Amino acid sequence: MITVENAQGKLNADPTGDFVLRGPSGALNGVNTEYLNAQEVNTDGIDVAADGSIFSDIGEIGVRLSATRFLSYEIPCAGANAKGCTGNTGTQDVVGYFNYDNFARSMPETKANASLDWTRDSHKLALMAFYTSGYEATRPIAPDAAANGYTSSIDSWLTLDLQYAYSFSFSGTDAVLTLGAKNLTDEDAPAVYDAANFSFDPKHHDPRGQILYGRIKLAF
């Protein structure tokens, strides 16, 4: 597997290495990283997908579900402090961790999407749910971050989207009016402490809160 070195991992392993860039005062300016051959990554998990529809006098009702659960994601060790590692030998399982100090992305164990939709004539209504399980951040929590309530646990996240669409003809032109809401219940993104940042994980969470939208699509 070809991947890029992790800057934090290199800094942890050798804070004075020639790849570390520091200013005259010793302050960290950056870390040079390179692409590398990570030997291999062994992973296994379970994917589930199901969908069905019911036709009745009130219209068509559809139900859909898709989910992924990682059972393991083993990468080569990159330091003595890595879980399950002795120096740079062996492998570590990175499922369930934020993974700030290795090349793997943040990896919750489970992600799932489900939807319930209703269609009748020109009307369509859909309710969608998006779930991400909780996971752990292994970066040490600074005292000021702990005082602000940050912990190593990143909470699970469940959001709902709602969308209504109406198809019609306008002056001989086919059109669709769509109204909707993302993150209907205005759930806050789980807090993630990442060094100096009091932040969130952009790979899995959206900090914007509830978003209302409307659009008209015309087909000429």
pLDDT at 38 over 80: no
CA dist list (Å): 191 to 58, 142, 153: 43, 14, 9
Residues 120 and 210 grouped into a single domain: yes
Helix (H, G, I), strand (E, B) or coil at 109: coil
Note whether residue 99 is domain-resident. Answer: no
The residue among 5, 134, 103 whose CA lies nearest residue 92 is: 103
pLDDT at 55 over 90: yes
Q: What percent of the chain clears pLDDT 90, i.e. is strictly above it? A: 57
The residue among 70, 194, 184 whose CA lies nearest residue 132 is: 70
**Mean pLDDT on 49-57:** 95
pLDDT at 1 over 50: yes
Note whether residue 159 is domain-resident. Answer: yes
Residues 29 and 123 grouped into a single domain: no
Residues 31 and 50 grouped into a single domain: no
pLDDT at 80 over 50: no
Residues 28 and 48 grouped into a single domain: no
pLDDT at 213 over 90: yes
The tokens for 128 are 């969608």
pLDDT in tens, 106-143: 999 999 999 999 999 999 999 999 999 999 998 888 88
Which long-range contacts (C-beta less than 8 Å, at least 24 apart) are formed by 35-38? 35/2, 35/3, 35/4, 35/5, 36/2, 36/3, 36/4, 36/5, 37/1, 37/2, 38/1, 38/2, 38/3, 38/75, 38/76, 38/103
Provide the residue range defining the domain that includes 166: 43-70+108-219
pLDDT in tens, 172-199: 899 999 999 999 999 999 999 876 566 8
Q: Are 160 and 98 in contact (CB under 8 A)?
A: no
Residues 20 and 52 grouped into a single domain: no
Q: Compute φ and ψ for 13, nearest 5 degrees.
A: -70, -35
Average pLDDT, whole number, for the chain?
89
pLDDT at 193: 85
pLDDT at 206: 94
The tokens for 178 are 């769509």
pLDDT at 88: 61
Note whether residue 100 is domain-resident. Answer: no
pLDDT at 142: 82
CA dist list (Å): 41 to 76, 108, 141, 150: 7, 17, 29, 31
Q: What is the pTM of this model?
A: 0.79
Note whether residue 170 is domain-resident. Answer: yes
Task: Report which of residues 175 and 86 the model is more confident about.
Answer: 175
**Mean pLDDT on 141-146:** 84
3-state helix, strand, coil in the chain (%, to 5): 5, 55, 40
Residues 116 and 20 grouped into a single domain: no
Residues 48 and 33 grouped into a single domain: no
**Mean pLDDT on 154-163:** 97
Domain tally for the chain? 2
Note whether residue 180 is domain-resident. Answer: yes
Residues 32 and 65 grouped into a single domain: no
pLDDT at 36: 76
Residues 117 and 198 grouped into a single domain: yes
Residues 199 and 165 grouped into a single domain: yes
Residues 7 and 29 grouped into a single domain: yes
Note whether residue 129 is domain-resident. Answer: yes
Q: How confident is the model at residue 153 (pLDDT cuts 50, 70, 90)?
A: very high
Note whether residue 139 is domain-resident. Answer: yes
